[in-house]
Amino acid sequence: MSERQQVQFEDLGNIAYKPAWDYQADLFDEIVAIKIKNRDLPLEERQPTKHHLLFCEHPHVYTLGKSGSMDNLLLNEQQLAEKDIEFYKNNRGGDITYHGPGQNVGYPILDLDMFVTDIHLYMRNLEEVFIRTLAEYGIESGRYPGFTGVWLEPDDPIRARKICALGVKCSRWVTMHGWAFNINTDLQYFDYIIPCGIADKGVTSMQKELGRQLDFQEVKNVVKEKFGEVFGCGFQ
C-alpha cells in the first residue's frame, strides 16, 4: 500500500500468557468483525481497520501450536508444576516454544489487506525485523532454508542455532500471535522441550552470544524501530 499505515503500539510489560492471548484475540476479533461488516457497505461508508503491535514478557510458559506434537514437551504435568511453568495449546502455526523472562514477545495484529496479502512475505518481513535488530549489535544472522525464525550461522548445519522463533495465525488477512526473541533469556528452559520440534538444532540468546546482559528496554526499542522500517508504518 502506498499509504503509510499507523500501528497502535502497547507494551504490556510482564503479563501472564492467557490474559495476553485473550487481549490479542479481542483485538483480532474486532478487526475481523469490521472487515465482515464492510463487505456489505458502500466504499464511502466503510470503517477503517486498526493495526496493533503488542510487546510483552511472560512468566515461564510453554505453548504448543496447532500442528505441534505433545511428544516435544519433555515434562509431565507434575514436573511442570514443580518448576512453576504453565502450558497452553493455542491456535498459531508451528510447534512447541518457550516464553519467559528476558525474552521479547511480540504480537502484531495487522490487517494485511493494508500491507501485503502474502503470508510467506509477511513471515519473511518478521524475520527481517530481527536480522536488522541483531545487526545493530554486531550479530550476523539469517534464515535457515525450510524453517521459520531467525538463525545464527544458518549455513552450518552443525552450528546453526535459533535466536528468534515465529508462529502466527492469519484469518481474513488479519494476523495474531508473533515472535519470541531471546535477549536475556534463561536458555535452560529449552532443555525441557524439543524447541519448534527440531531435535538437532540449538537455541541461543543475545546475552549468550555477546557474553553480557543486554539493556532489555533498549533492545525492545530497536525491535520496534526496525518493525517500523520493514513494514513502512508509524506508531501511535
Q: Which of 56, 164, 170, 196 is catalytic?
A: 196
Alpha helix (H) residue ranges in the chain: 17-38, 77-82, 119-135, 206-210, 216-231
The radius of gyration of the chain from alpha carbons, rounded to an integer in Å, stands at: 18
> Which grid coordinates are listed for 84?
512453576
Beta bridge partners of 175: 170
- Known active-site residue 196: yes
Phi and psi at 157, nearest 5°, equal: -60, -25
Looking at residue 71, the DSSP 8-state letter turns out to be G
H helix count then E strand count, the chain: 5, 11
Separation of alpha carbons 158 and 150, rounded Å: 16
By residue count, the chain amounts to: 236
Give, for 178, the enclosing helix (H) or strand (E): strand 174-182
Residue 142 one-letter amino acid: G
* Joined grid coordinates for residue 174: 488479519
Say which DSSP state 181 is in. E
Nearest CA to 51 among 115, 3, 109, 118? Answer: 109
The catalytic site residues sit at 196
